[in-house]
A and B are shown apart, each in its own frame.
Chain A
Amino acid sequence: MEKAIIALAAALSIGVTAIATSIAQRAIGSAGVGALAEKPELAGSIIILVAIPETLVILGFAVAAIMLMN
């Protein structure tokens, strides 16, 4: 039972952060594409902006990994 709860917690930590990341990326991505159409030279900045929320899911992954390792 304890193992199942740990597995569920690990899944939630990845799943919820992945959803949060995708929500953030959806907003940034659509605005970024609009900006790129106007100014293609912004490509570098937009890649950064789109990639920033991914840290959320990476931290979720770290938490899940720690839980599973313990």
Chain B
Amino acid sequence: MIVEMSRVEIIGLKKHLERLIPFLHTSGYLQIDDIREMPDVIAQPFTPTMKMKEDREEVDLLIANINGLIESFSAYHKETDDTGGQIDDITFYGIKDSVAGITAKVQYFNMRKKTLQDELISHSKYNEILKVISPFMPESTKKSGNATIRALVHSSQTREMALLANQLKLLTHGKFEMITVKVGEETDAVIGIFPLDLISQVEGFMKNEKIVKLVLPEEYTYLSTDEALQHIEKKVELDHKELDNIDESMHRFAIKWLPVLKTWQLICKDKVDEIEAFLKIGETEFTFVIFGWIPKEDVRFLKKALRKEFSRDISLSEIDIPKELQSRIPVKTRNPAVVEPYEHFVKMRATPSYSDIDPSMLVAVFMPIFFGMMAGDVGYGIVMFIIALLMGKKANKGLIADIMKFLRLGAIWTMVFGVLFGEYFGNLGEKLGIKPLWLNRSEPESIFPLLTMAIAVGVGHIMFGLLIGAWNAFVHKSRSHLLERVGMFVGILGLLFLAGSLSSYLPGGFTTLGWIVFAIGLIAVVVSIGTTGIFLGPIEFVGLIGSILSYLRIAALGLASVYLAKVANDLGGMVSSAIAGVLMAVIIHALNIVMGILSPTIQSLRLQYVEFFRRFYEGGHSPFTPFKKRIHTKTRIVKIS
């Protein structure tokens, strides 16, 4: 149901404005219109003060910081919509300081983590090389007074290294010892051992020959290979421990601060909304004026609340809605809880127009019935109902929750049609002697009645849509639409007479009557379109028949489902092992149930969107979005400084 809306004007002295905006924000009744977009208003738009601009910048910056922290924490703890923390006595500066404190800690942890990760990468490389060369190190390296020099060279350079080693031996009077160890596919490690007092000579020689030394971190430079390896291994272990500690701290931080940050985020967004609300109002030198929309039933509540808070200093009055604003009336719908999921399905297509009929209730009736007609199996219905109940408990809101609520009702209709078609996990019921109340879809002779049923449902659904469309056109005083929809309705009626008499369900005289009624309908459609109607009118009619035939999908999906169920039972029966047979049947039935949830949901939604809505539904108005707090607080955030 679409709620009746009123356009209101609030006027008062500017000195009350700073109190009024937070008051309207807290009360949450009014959708404020932007005065800059109002064609019928001549008041000057409100000029924001410098302080307001500064506040806005500051809050935007704070929101960006909070968003950054939420993103950082969400890597450590699952992000939810839960809010928490103290909300009743917090100041903007309190939030700002706390955010700065948390940001500093998070930045420290992130930087430390980065340093440790870099260190681990380099240490792991040293560790790898030292581990390979360590077993080949001669005893002489452990002698005090000996120095060790390490270098990595390409395998192709090993020969040149041997020549260099000879030169170094000459240089050190035979006191230079060299070992080569393969550390990679194309890399060799070269280790030279010599007396410590010759280190400057050896290093100078290597520098001249452009041999790159394997330089260990400073703290390991003067250690033997084994000692360096031990120290590096210890360091790697400590780094891993510290990384784990940081992750643990961040996780604890995330659990503690994520809900609080969410609360602060909402508080800050509310502040932005308040600042933006000021920009939407009009002003003179001493007064202000606010235009907005409010459900008619709420006008008296807001009036009463304003009187109580501001006495007679601020006046609220209902004003006429000019013609040019008719298309801008925001739409608020109200439906019983059971219809709400379907309201969301309708809004997925488009928000209804203010003067339209809200089709949510109709969708709530037809969609589950169509679903049941397609799925139509008692066993499948029970399984679907259980799935809908279990998944519905997990998903409280959103599209999945809506689909589960729909599925619950759809599953009940599936069971109802299952009884009519005598289907209990396909033909299992039939094998147990359960007879259908109406028709057995798996028998070839049932195809004709099944198709007839689908067409009849289509005709009924579309004619109902055309009737609503005609009523809408009548209310909107749109002659062409009224003529078109009535013409189509009459045309279908003529076709029904024709089909009835040709198939001998009606007396022969109905053939002529059918042609006459059809011709009247066609002429009405042609006239409604105008000059091109002579061509477009018949095309529209062909389209209408196509729409009716589109309902054959109800029969088609039903047949596909029943035959797959039959295959599951027959295949299961063919297998010699009872357990394997049951397992096979269960797997195929499970597949059929999954397909039986997906396809009929989409197809029944499509029948509403494409075939039914096209006859009457326009939509396209904006939804009613009241100026309302995201989170109710008693903060002192109203005044930033």
Closest to A41 in B: B348
CA distance A61 to B447 in the complex (A): 11
Closest to B605 in A: A47
- Whether A62 contacts B549 by the Cβ 8 Å rule is yes
For the complex, is B96 an interface residue (Cβ under 8 Å from A)? no
CB < 8 Å neighbour of A61 from B448, B556, B609:
B556
CB < 8 Å neighbour of B451 from A52, A54, A55, A62:
A62
- Whether B349 contacts A61 by the Cβ 8 Å rule is no
Closest to B606 in A: A51
- Whether A55 contacts B550 by the Cβ 8 Å rule is yes
For the complex, is B553 an interface residue (Cβ under 8 Å from A)? yes
For the complex, is B610 an interface residue (Cβ under 8 Å from A)? yes
Is the contact region of chain B dominated by helix, strand, or loop, or is it mixed?
Answer: helix
From B347, B550, B603, B605, name the one whose CB has the most chain A CB atoms within 10 angstroms. B550
Q: Knowing A43-B348, A61-B556 touch, does A54 contact B606 (C-beta < 8 A)?
A: yes
For the complex, is B321 an interface residue (Cβ under 8 Å from A)? no
- Whether B451 contacts A48 by the Cβ 8 Å rule is no
Closest to A60 in B: B556
Residues 549-568 of B contacting A (Cβ, < 8 Å): 549-550, 552-553, 556
CB < 8 Å neighbour of A51 from B347, B444, B448, B602:
B602
Which chain A residues border B216 with CB–CB below 8 Å? none
Which chain A residues border B606 with CB–CB below 8 Å? 47-48, 51, 54
Which chain B residues border A69 with CB–CB below 8 Å? 447-448
Interface flags, A38-51, vs B, CB<8A=1, else 0:
00000111011001
CB distance from B137 to the nearest CB of A (A): 59
For the complex, is A12 an interface residue (Cβ under 8 Å from B)? no
- Whether A65 contacts B349 by the Cβ 8 Å rule is no
Chain A's interface size range is 10 to 19
CA distance A52 to B603 in the complex (A): 10
CB < 8 Å neighbour of A45 from B349, B549, B605:
B349
Q: Knowing A52-B610, A59-B549, A61-B556 touch, does A44 contact B348 (C-beta < 8 A)?
A: yes
Residues 514-558 of B contacting A (Cβ, < 8 Å): 546, 549-550, 552-553, 556
From B447, B448, B552, B556, name the one whose CB has the most chain A CB atoms within 10 angstroms. B556
CB < 8 Å neighbour of B602 from A47, A52, A55:
A47
CB < 8 Å neighbour of B553 from A45, A47, A48, A58:
A58
Which chain B residues border A58 with CB–CB below 8 Å? 549-550, 552-553, 556
Q: Knowing A47-B609, A48-B349, A51-B610 touch, does A68 contact B447 (C-beta < 8 A)?
A: yes
CB distance from B532 to the nearest CB of A (A): 23
CB < 8 Å neighbour of A48 from B448, B549, B603, B610:
B610
Closest to A51 in B: B606
CB distance from B624 to the nearest CB of A (A): 16
For the complex, is B350 an interface residue (Cβ under 8 Å from A)? yes
Which chain B residues border A44 with CB–CB below 8 Å? 347-350, 609
Which chain A residues border B447 with CB–CB below 8 Å? 65, 68-69
Residues 4-58 of A contacting B (Cβ, < 8 Å): 43-45, 47-48, 51-52, 54-55, 58
CA distance A47 to B462 in the complex (A): 20
CB distance from B619 to the nearest CB of A (A): 9
Which chain B residues border A54 with CB–CB below 8 Å? 553, 603, 606
CA distance A43 to B549 in the complex (A): 25
Which chain A residues border B553 with CB–CB below 8 Å? 54, 58
Q: Which residues of A contact B (CB under 8 A)?
A: 43-45, 47-48, 51-52, 54-55, 58-59, 61-62, 65, 68-69
Q: Which residues of B contact A (CB under 8 A)?
A: 347-350, 444, 447-448, 451, 546, 549-550, 552-553, 556, 602-603, 605-606, 609-610
Q: Given A47-B609, A54-B606, 7 other A-B contacts at CB below 8 A?
A: A44-B349, A44-B350, A47-B605, A48-B349, A48-B610, A59-B549, A65-B447
